[in-house]
Amino acid sequence: MIPLQDILPRRTVPIVTWGLITVNTLVFLLEVLLPDSGRELLFHYLGLIPARITDPEWAILHGFPQGAYLTLITHLFLHGGWVHFLGNMWTLWIFGDNVEDRLGHWRFLLFYLFCGVAAALVHVYFHPHSTVPTIGASGAISGVLGAYFVMFPLARVIVMIPIFIFPFFFEVPAVLYLGYWYLIQIFSGTLSLALPGHVGGVAWWAHVGGFLAGVLTHRLFCSRRSCYYKDEEIPWGTVISYLDRINR
């Protein structure tokens, strides 16, 4: 399922969401302008390499400078290609504005970075000896999805499902779309642990960790006023009734 948009109004201008997209865009355009050797060097020095953190002697032996913990942040602004970049920014565009609307601008920025770091640490935990650079904003964006999942479970999300060459469009509750997405991350992450060799491709466990961080900690970033309106507390009874109707 490819998300196209959500149907949920916002009260404020999402300046932090737009700002994050702008910064990521500028960094990605810089990457595109670099020669292949320069881009690879950038990924190795600013990307997240778990072995740099878990094995400092290995890092020194291979000529890495100090400051490996800074890569817990810097890797969030690097992307490996157009599909990677556009997919992450599109997802942030769809779901970030409403979460920012509820948390507030600066709290949302701190929340975003916190989830990115949490996702990175989960990735390091599951792949402590990996020497492959991990890059991308998806860990932080997964945290945004986790907060959205809890705060707006019945918000409608328009998704596109390609069947052969024909696109089909559906409107589904966020709880179903994001729940399905999360289960895919769990399944793929578990499968990746069973595969031999170095970690490559998608950092599934970073997605899992970021999502859980968003679900569990978003309230810590709320202002004194609740993140929820009184009539918008999570109606899990309504969600369960909706799922029951689908299964009948």
Which domains, and CATH codes, for the chain? Answer: 2-247 (1.20.1540.10)
Mean pLDDT of the chain: 86
Q: What percent of the chain has pLDDT over 70?
A: 88
Mean pLDDT of 199-226: 84
Task: Specify whether the CB–CB gap between 105 and 173 falls below 8 A.
Answer: no
Mean pLDDT of 170-190: 90
Q: What sign does the dihedral 67-68-72-77 (CA atoms) show?
A: positive
Model confidence, pTM: 0.87
Tell me, what amino acid is at 51? Answer: A
Residues 6+ apart with CB under 8 A from 94: 3, 4, 5, 6, 157
**What pLDDT sits at residue 104?**
92
**What pLDDT sits at residue 195?**
65
pLDDT in tens, 232-247: 544 545 545 544 554 4
Residues 6+ apart with CB under 8 A from 144: 92, 95, 96, 99, 111, 112, 115, 214
Q: What percent of the chain has pLDDT over 90?
A: 61
Least confident stretch, 32-46, 107-121, 137-151, 194-208 = 194-208
